[in-house]
Amino acid sequence: DQQVKQNSPSLSVQEGRISILNCDYTNSMFDYFLWYKKYPAEGPTFLISISSIKDKNEDGRFTVFLNKSAKHLSLHIVPSQPGDSAVYFCAARGAGGSNYQLIWGAGTKLIIKP
Amino acid sequence: DSGVTQTPKHLITATGQRVTLRCSPRSGDLSVYWYQQSLDQGLQFLIQYYNGEERAKGNILERFSAQQFPDLHSELNLSSLELGDSALYFCASSVGGGTSGREQFFGPGTRLTVL
């Protein structure tokens, strides 16, 4: 039972253009969503997050949008840079009894073309 | 460099064997989390320790166990290994016992190959 889904295993974007990574979830009890970035041979690093009470959070070139009615969130990267090439994971935090557990998507590999 | 160290980096072993993965958290962090990432899968939360005590349990098999020692380093023990246990095992640490995810810092992982 995949509660967090990233349906695109990979995405290729031209340098300077917008990258949009998508994530869908099934559990309406999730109260917090995060995006992590992972380079090869390294652990994931936190990128940006959003609370379920918001619909947008922006940090520099990175913006996360949350559509609760659609149970969908997206990460926008503008403009895309070569250093953004990495695997991006979406994760969701369960509220209440599962408060300490993050549920992760399978990741999307982003390739920025020069 | 996240400040979280994991050893060994790579481990190759045979089915039925037992291995121990080690994690040293960032200085000052009291929580340690263990995750498993199988090929093309997301990270699966296994278990969390906070200041030496088990805080939360995820999809951890009975063949797997973990502990956190007084110096706060943690070990993940995997026994009766099966081919399907081949994966990347990540350790993360955080200051507190709760998680917003933001404050979790990940080590580089241990790649386990079971032949």
Q: What is the mean pLDDT of residues B59-80?
A: 96
Q: Residue B97 has what pLDDT? A: 67
Q: ∠ CA(B74), CA(B77), CA(B82), 5° rounding?
A: 145
Nearest CA in chain A to B10: A41
Mutation target to probe the B interface, by most B beta carbons within 10 A, among A31, A46, A90, A98 is A46
Q: How high does pLDDT run on average in chain A?
A: 92
- At B110, the pLDDT band (50, 70, 90 cuts) reads very high
- At B91, the pLDDT band (50, 70, 90 cuts) reads very high
- Token readout for A71 is 């149970």
Q: How far is A114 from chain B (nearest CA, A)?
A: 26
Q: Residue A19 has what pLDDT? A: 98
Kindly report, residue by residue over A93-109, the tens digit of the pLDDT.
876 555 567 888 999 99
Nearest CB to B101; choose among A4, A43, A49:
A49
Q: How far is A15 from chain B (nearest CA, A)?
A: 25
DSSP conformational letter for B55: E
Q: How high does pLDDT run on average in chain B?
A: 91
Kindly report, residue by residue over B3-34, the tens digit of the pLDDT.
999 999 999 999 999 999 999 999 999 999 99
Rg of chain B over Cα atoms, rounded to whole angstroms, equals: 13
If DSSP codes are grouped into helix, strand and coil, which group holds residue B39?
A: coil
Task: Compute the distance between CA of residue A88 and CA of residue A42 in angstroms, rounded to an integer.
Answer: 13
Q: Kindly provide the b/e burial profile for residues A35-73, where b requires at least 16 CB atoms within 10 angstroms of the residue's own CB.
A: bbbbeeeebbebbbbbebeeeebeeeebbbbbeeeebeb
Q: ∠ CA(B17), CA(B46), CA(B63), 5° rounding?
A: 30
Task: Compute the distance between CA of residue B62 and CA of residue A77 in angstroms, rounded to an integer.
Answer: 41
**In percent, how much of chain B has pLDDT > 70?**
94
Nearest CA in chain B to A106: B42
